[in-house]
Amino acid sequence: MSATALLIASTVLGQISGQPNLRPKPPIQSVTEHERGLYERLVYPLLRNPEWKEGFAYPAGHFLMVPLHAAYWLHQPDWQAAFRDQFTRMLAAPPEDFTTNPLARSQYFYLASEFLVLELETNGRSQLTRRLETFLTREISNRWTRQDAIAFDHKPFTGVKARLDHKLSLSRSAVSYYRAITDEEMFLFAIASDLAHAARIQGTLSSLNKNVDEMGDYLQAVIADRGSDTSGGGWSFDTGVWADHPDDAYAQHLAAYSGMKPLKRPQVAWDSSHFHRFGLFVVSYRDAFAIGSAPYKRFESIRLQLATQFKSQVLLPPSDGFPNFRTKNYMDGWNGLYRYGSDPQLGAHKGYGGYQLSGTFFLGWWAFLNDPGILGAYQRASRLFPLSETVLRTYLGPLYTVNRSKKTWYETGMAELLTSLSSKFSRD
């Protein structure tokens, strides 16, 4: 199906009129004094930083998402105020202060768009939400239509929209990943989805920015073109598209050995570390559309399928052989090598072996799928701290050192906090 045909179809399906789609609020669960102490010691200092700057934005998008949701879902006014202060200061910052890295910007701006939705739902419209909505709309509109968007096989496009048109036009390519839909593009779709959700909450859908509206159509086109249901009731995205990428050059190997040659996996799935963002992406995508609409139903189905995929193919509970949770390296359940020899920070003959992407689980994003089994896993994992050296050796993989001069986030209390808070995200 051509990109044009997909867009026409998605426009027909993507009617975003209707009543506000408020994310269900969970029952009020208590916050323990231990959790509160960890939050104040670890999260507050981050929120006092200019997280929009170079070096801050990318990790902030990862580590602050669960604390943001906990602030609202667990009804903590002081925590909410700390996030309001972060984004108030961001809006006052000069443009030159912001990171120029497109992925880091989009990851941090997704944190901001999620804040916008949660703040509107909980505390209503304010000068801050109005300014933030305008700011995010301008930022992603410029990225969509005006800014240089680099590509693997082409000189930079003018805008991400033009780059996506190119990718969707490639039914095949000489190098597989030339067609790949990147994490930056999925972040932009998520921000646009949050802006559509915010407009529905406020009753302003009729004046939704045309670029934001168009991004909703492209999102549906991309999902229809690149998403696929699996035989086990799960869901996959861009299957095989990354097969030729250097990060996956050794993916078919289950272990490294001397003299090993590249061996790609033709139907390689996304690695489970990058893909963890879909745990929240799919919720944002769904909530861009009216309850009961065809797009809403499709994304709700994908949410359920992703939970099945993760539980059945990726997540392993503690066992006699390993005392904590692990994840397979790839979303189809394959546990081959990842980024072997392709990451300059690791070196020519290093990469991530089996289960060595497991630590991403502790960022907590899989909890947003609102699946009882996954939430139960987080609850169980929250009781398994502190982590043993055996566990740390696996989670840190090629970055592991015996005598660490500085504690990792698995040891500072951050992983424990995110895991514990994530376990309380049930909306049933």
Beta bridge partners of 237: 227
Residue 378 CB neighbours (<10 A): 23
CA 346 to chain centre: 24
Overall fold of domain 3-422: Glycosyltransferase (1.50.10)
Q: pTM for the complete prediction?
A: 0.95
In the predicted structure, residue 62 carries a pLDDT above the cut 90: yes
Give the pLDDT score at 89: 98
Phi-psi region of 342 (alpha: psi -120 to 50; beta: other; left: phi over 0): alpha
Would the pLDDT of 301 be above 60? yes
Could you tell me if 21 and 197 are in contact, meaning their C-beta atoms sit under 8 angstroms apart? yes
In degrees, to the nearest 5, what angle opens at C-alpha 68 toward C-alphas 281 and 372? 60
Which residues, 6 or more positions from 11, have their beta carbon under 8 angstroms from its beta carbon?
217
pLDDT(223) > 50? yes
User: Could you tell me where the beta strands, DSSP code E, fall in 99-232?
Assistant: 148-149, 157-158, 227-229
Closest to 139 in 3D by CA, of 221, 199, 209, 54: 209
Closest listed residue to residue 119, CA positions, set 137, 131, 107, 108: 131
Q: Is the pLDDT of residue 324 over 80?
A: yes
Q: Answer whether residue 55 shows pLDDT above 80.
A: yes
Task: Give the pairing type, strands 315-316 and 235-237.
Answer: unpaired
Per-residue pLDDT, averaged over 285-299, amounts to 97
| Rounded alpha-carbon distances, angstroms, from residue 58 to 91, 103, 108, 113 | 18, 8, 6, 15
CA angle 177, 180, 183 (to 5 degrees): 125
Backbone angles phi, psi at 147, to 5 degrees: -85, 155
Confidence check: pLDDT of 28 > 90 = no
Model pLDDT for residues 77-116, shown as the tens digit of each residue: 999 999 999 999 999 999 999 999 999 999 999 999 999 9
What average pLDDT does range 290-319 have in this prediction?
97
d(CA 266, CA 243): 5
Asked if the model's pLDDT at residue 9 lies above 60, the reply is no
Q: Is residue 15 pLDDT above 90, yes or no?
A: no
Q: How confident is the model at residue 27, as a pLDDT?
A: 67
The SS3 call for residue 276 is coil
- In DSSP terms, which residues pair with 315 in a beta bridge? 327
Could you state, in order of their start, the residue ranges of all structural domains in the chain?
3-422
pLDDT above 80 (res 428):
no
pLDDT the model gives residue 11: 39
Q: Is 235 helix (H, G, I), strand (E, B) or coil?
A: strand
- The confidence score (pLDDT) of residue 146 equals 98
Tens digit of pLDDT for each residue in 149-201? Answer: 999 999 999 999 999 999 999 988 999 999 999 999 999 999 999 999 999 99
Q: Is the pLDDT of residue 17 over 70?
A: no
Q: Are 168 and 6 in contact (CB under 8 A)?
A: yes
Q: For residues 319-325, give the mean pLDDT.
A: 97
Q: What pLDDT sits at residue 5?
A: 41
Spatial contact of 199 and 118, defined as CB atoms under 8 Å apart? no
Q: What is the mean pLDDT of the chain?
A: 94
**pLDDT confidence bin for 20, thresholds 50/70/90:** low
Strand runs labelled E in 248-374: 315-316, 326-327
Residues 28-40, mean pLDDT to the nearest whole number: 94
Answer positive or negative: Cα dihedral of 158, 160, 163, 168: negative
Contacts of 361 (CB under 8 A, 6+ apart): 276, 315, 325, 327, 381
- Between these two residues, 3 and 425, which has the higher pLDDT value? 425
Q: Which of 418, 318, 412 is nearest to 366 (CA)?
A: 418
Checking if the pLDDT of 49 tops 90, the result is yes
- The partner residues of 158 in beta bridges, in order of sequence, read 148
Q: Could you tell me the two tokens for 140? A: 């992603």
In the predicted model, is pLDDT for residue 12 greater than 50? no
pLDDT band at 14 (very low <50, low <70, confident <90, very high): very low
Residue 347 has pLDDT above 90, yes or no: no
Buried b (16+ CB within 10 A) or exposed e, 381-416: bbeebebeeebbebbebbeeeeeeeeebbbeebbbb
Is there a contact between 306 and 282 (Cβ–Cβ < 8 Å)?
Answer: yes
**Distance separating alpha carbons of residues 415 and 405, to the nearest angstrom:** 18
User: At residue 16, does pLDDT exceed 50?
Assistant: no
The tens digit of pLDDT for each residue in 259-284 reads: 999 999 999 999 999 999 999 999 99
Question: How sure is the predictor about 19, in pLDDT bands with cuts at 50, 70 and 90?
Answer: low
> Across residues 126-136, what is the average pLDDT?
98
> How far apart (Å, rounded) are the C-alpha atoms in residues 329 and 315?
10
Q: 391: which 2 tokens?
A: 């566990």
pLDDT at residue 344 above 80?
yes
Residue 113 CA from chain centroid, whole number = 13
